[in-house]
Amino acid sequence: MSTEAGRAGVLPTIWRGVRLRCPACGQRTLFRAYLKLSQSCAACGADFSRSETADVAPYVTIMLMGLIGMPPILALALNAGAYAEMLLWPALACAAGLALVLLPRVKGVLAALLWRARREM
Ligand SMILES: [Zn+2]
């Protein structure tokens, strides 16, 4: 790993995690499958073998889903009147889609921050 590649600030590290990119160089993906971290970056060699986030990513995703997803669903449910039941399944489908989009990004941010914290130890 070049010295320049691993010296990004906290915000670029977070942004690279959101984009599912290597926290060190941002050139290659952090994942080898939907939620499986790569062992290392193919471009810069950054080691991700100790950046596994365990169950924290799903917990944070559930928390974000509650903060982001519940207010519009509750507003729809309270204001839709007779149409509330018709809106239930599309709202649940949107919530499931949002969770599937958020989960790898949350894991990417957590793994990037964990990689950064271990690099500085
Ligand atoms: Zn890299």
**Residue labelled with tokens 């060190």:** 24
Quote the pLDDT of residue 6. Answer: 62
**For 65-106, what is each residue's pLDDT tens digit?**
999 888 887 888 788 877 778 888 888 898 899 999 999 999
CA of 64 to the centre of ligand 1 (A): 28
Cα gap 85→93, rounded to integer Å: 13
Q: How far is the centre of ligand 1, averaged over its atoms, from the C-alpha of 87 (Å)?
A: 44
**Per residue, what are the HEC states of 18-68?**
HCCECCCCCCCECECCCCCECCECCCCCCECCCCCCCCHHHHHHHHHHHHH
Tokens 């977070």 label which residue?
Answer: 14
Which pLDDT score, from 0 to 100, does residue 2 have?
44
**CA 93–ligand 1 middle distance (angstroms):** 35
What pLDDT is attached to residue 5?
A: 53
In total, the chain counts a number of residues equal to 121
CA distance 57 to 108: 9
The Cα diameter of the chain in Å comes to 62
Domain boundaries, the chain: 10-119
Q: Is 25 helix (H, G, I), strand (E, B) or coil?
A: coil
Per-residue confidence (pLDDT) for residue 48, from 0 to 100: 94
Q: How far apart (Å, rounded) are the C-alpha atoms in residues 72 and 69?
A: 6
Q: Which amino acid is at 5?
A: A
pLDDT given for residue 1 in this prediction: 45
List, for residues 11-49, the tens digit of each pLDDT value.
Answer: 999 999 999 999 999 999 999 999 999 999 999 999 999
